[in-house]
Structures are given as C-alpha cells and as structure tokens.
Amino acid sequence: MLGSRIQCALALVLASIATSGVQAWPHGQSQCKQLATRKEWGSLTSGERIAYIDAVKCMQQKPSNFAPGVVPGAKSRFDDFSAVHINQTTGIHLDGVFLSWHRNFLQLWETALREECGYPGYQPYWNWPLWDDDLAASPLFDGSETSLGGDGYYDGSFTEYIVGTNSDGSLQTLPRGTGGGCMKDGPFVNMTINMGPFAFGLVYTGLPSNWTDYAPHCVQRDLNNAVAAKTNQTYVDAALATATINDFQNALSASGTTLGLHGAGHFCTGAGMQDFFASPSDPAFFLHHGQVDRIWQMWQSLDEGARTYGNNALFGTSTIFDANNTAPVSLDEEMNWGILGKPRKIAEMMQVGLHGFCYEYQ
Ligand SMILES: *[C@@H]1O[C@H](CO)[C@@H](O)[C@H](O)[C@H]1NC(C)=O
Ligand SMILES: *[C@@H]1O[C@H](CO)[C@@H](O)[C@H](O)[C@H]1NC(C)=O
Ligand SMILES: *[C@@H]1O[C@H](CO)[C@@H](O)[C@H](O)[C@H]1NC(C)=O
Ligand SMILES: *[C@@H]1O[C@H](CO)[C@@H](O)[C@H](O)[C@H]1NC(C)=O
Ligand SMILES: *[C@@H]1O[C@H](CO)[C@@H](O)[C@H](O)[C@H]1NC(C)=O
Ligand SMILES: [Cu+2]
C-alpha cells in the first residue's frame, strides 16, 4: 500500500460519560443485543471458507450500483467497494479517520456479502503472526481451492521494491517476493480487476479524471516472507503496548522500509495489495483489514473509556499525512462511504458492540 514498485479538544462531557463506564454515545439503545463471531481464516472449516469465497465471487457477478456512466470501470458490486476506496484514498489513510472509516467499510462489505449474496457467516480475518514465516504455506495463500488464491506467476522484471528516498538521495528498498504476476492458482486464478493500477505518487497530485475508466488487468501477487516478518508477534505486541493513539497508528503505518503492521500486510502480498488506491480489489484486503480492526479493538479494550470516547481516542485530521487543510478529527465529524452506505459520525465507529458493530473477534 505504501507505494507501487516506485514508489481536539474533546468535549469533557463525553470523556466523563465514557470514564464513568456508561456506554452511551449518543443513545443508550444502540447497544448490540447479540454479537457475531469473526474468525481467523485458518480456523474456519473448508465449507466455511468456500462459502466466503463463493460470496466474493457472487459480488464479482452482481452488477454495480453506480448510475450508468458514473464509474465505467465499476462493473460489479465487488468493484463498487474498490471505486469508493479509490475515490477517498487521500482522506482515509495515514490520518485520524483511517481506523474508523475502515471499520465501517468492512462492516458494509460483510453486510453486502450476507444480504446480497446469501453468505451465512461473518467477516474472517488474517492473523498475521500465525503465518508470517511462510505465507505460501498458509491456508490463506497456499493456492488451494479453500485459499484466497496463491502466489503470482514469477515475473523476473524487477529485483526489489523502492519504497522511499533518504535525505542523501539513496533509495529505501525492500526485497521482492517469489511471484509478481497474475495469481497462478486457487479460486481466484488469473482474476481480473477493472480499475487501476494507480501509482502511489497520485496521493500528492490527486486522481486523474480518468480514474473511473474501465482498465481490466489481473491482480498481481508476490508473496514475500521477508516483509511478512514485519507482522510477527513482536510487532503486534509492540503495537498493543503503545500508550497513545498516535503511537498506535504509527505502529500500524509508517513510511519507508518500516511499513508498520498494516503497511507490511499490504506489502507482503504483491502489487494488487500494494496499490494504495485500489487494494480492495485483492480479496485478501478484507481479511487484512479484519485483523487491523481486531488489533484496534484489542488496543481500545485495554483502556476503554479513554480509547473510545475519551482523550486517547482520536489523533489526526481527515487529510492524508495529517496535512492541516482539515481540522483535527472529532467524534462529531461525519464520514461517508459513497454509494455503499449512509454517512455516519465518527463517534458511531468508536466501539465494537455499539451502533450496529455487533461482532467480536475470536
Ligand atoms: C468521490 O468523492 C466525492 C467527495 O466525497 C463525491 O462527491 C463523489 O461523488 C465521489 N465519486 C464517486 C464516483 O463516488
Ligand atoms: C492463467 O493465465 C496464464 C497466462 O496467460 C495461462 O497460461 C494459464 O493457463 C491461466 N490459467 C487459468 C487457470 O486460466
Ligand atoms: C489515464 O490517463 C493517463 C495519461 O493521462 C494514462 O497514463 C492512464 O493509463 C489512463 N488510465 C486509464 C485507466 O485509462
Ligand atoms: C520479529 O522480528 C524481529 C525483527 O526481525 C525479531 O527481532 C523478533 O525476534 C521477531 N519476533 C518473533 C516472535 O519472531
Ligand atoms: C499549516 O498551516 C500553516 C499556516 O496556517 C503553515 O504555516 C504550515 O506550514 C501548515 N502545515 C503544517 C504541517 O503545520
Ligand atoms: Cu484503505
């Protein structure tokens, strides 16, 4: 995600409500009556995995909900999720709304799988440390019919990933992986996506007007254990041990070769997932973000009052790199998910178990 190959003041009243243990923002009746269980991919039965894969394929068959001509590249409901993410990329990453925006994005995806494609389960997640030393042998990427597709065909046209430039002009690089081309096996073999690819540099210039064009190409995979090593348990523990939301966000996403947990998960899977804009067009995206959401929820639960509606809940603006052309985010700020769902206030995304976020992570 960090590149292509080149690459408040919070209202005291809210804080006191939260610290007094009353989960009441903004209406007490929003508490979930029942919680669904989101499970790790490897702990699903074969049948459960196939049900998820079939639902993803169903989303790829269903026609887009965009009005004709608005996003010619969005052919399917699956594409709709990419299109909305592409369009909002510079507002929802490396800033104060990253976690909350993606929490609801995932929820909207899970709901679409269930309501539009009859999926009986809940959103699975990818627990990175279980598989960081051998992605190709993991149930996620082993290329079997119960995986999310395997590695890419080997593409020898590049030797490393350039992820940044040092102040002296030297390049910051990461080793390449073992594939690089289209997915060579599994249920999404040679899978084609309809928009992009987009270069990371577009975050500085904005999207070209032709971003909506139909541009079919395959999803590229490049499984990379050297990068996946940056998602090991030591890094997860370090993220969970951070004291501030700013430090927690930095443990997820960082510049250059550091990547962070979220960055490394995107980077260890290949060009599809590295596309900062169009990464939801690799089915692995939703499992990766399941884990991001899970880790955030775990971190929040360690000091719930402060980390949901209190003074350690939000840090940053709603502009990429926290540029100051938008104000620091607040619980009252409204975000949107385009055609995917209705606009909601950040406050509604702050705590799992409230406001329709009725799930727990196993
Ligand atoms: C892209 O985002 C802008 C701002 O949120 C919105 O006005 C526009 O309708 C979106 N375009 C599409 C195609 O969703
Ligand atoms: C995938 O594409 C490659 C390259 O075009 C081709 O050789 C291979 O047969 C395709 N595989 C499937 C299952 O379609
Ligand atoms: C958009 O236009 C640029 C050049 O202006 C071109 O390089 C790119 O391939 C185009 N993208 C699509 C999806 O057509
Ligand atoms: C994770 O990787 C770091 C850096 O290579 C290493 O120091 C640490 O021991 C690893 N942790 C585990 C649990 O493998
Ligand atoms: C923010 O705005 C001020 C002027 O209002 C400007 O000087 C500064 O460079 C901007 N950027 C940051 C990161 O403060
Ligand atoms: Cu994203």
The pLDDT of residue 47 is 98
What's residue 4's pLDDT? 34
Task: Tell me if 190 CB under 6 Å of ligand 2.
Answer: yes
DSSP class of 220 = B
pLDDT < 70 stretches in the chain: 1-29
Q: Are 172 and 163 in contact (CB under 8 A)?
A: yes
Ligand number nearest CA of 95 is 6
246 C-beta neighbours (distance < 10 Å), count? 15
Atom of ligand 1 nearest to the CA of 88: 2
Q: What is the bridge-based pairing of β-strands 359-361 and 36-38?
A: parallel
What per-residue confidence (pLDDT) applies to 14? 36
Predicted pLDDT of residue 7: 36
**Tens of pLDDT along 260-312?**
999 999 999 999 999 999 999 999 999 999 999 999 999 999 999 999 999 99
pLDDT at res. 30: 85
Q: Decide if 277 contacts 86 (C-beta within 8 A).
A: yes
Q: Locate all alpha helices (DSSP H) within 63-188, ordered by sequence.
A: 77-92, 98-117
Which of 66, 87, 195 best tests ligand 1's pocket when mutated (most atoms within 8 Å of CB)? 87
* pLDDT at position 324: 85
pLDDT recorded at residue 255: 83
Closest atom of ligand 4 to CA, residue 230: 2
Give the count of alpha carbons within 13 A of 191, CB side only. Answer: 29
Q: How confident is the model over 53-96, as pLDDT tens digits?
A: 999 999 999 999 999 999 999 999 999 999 999 999 999 999 99
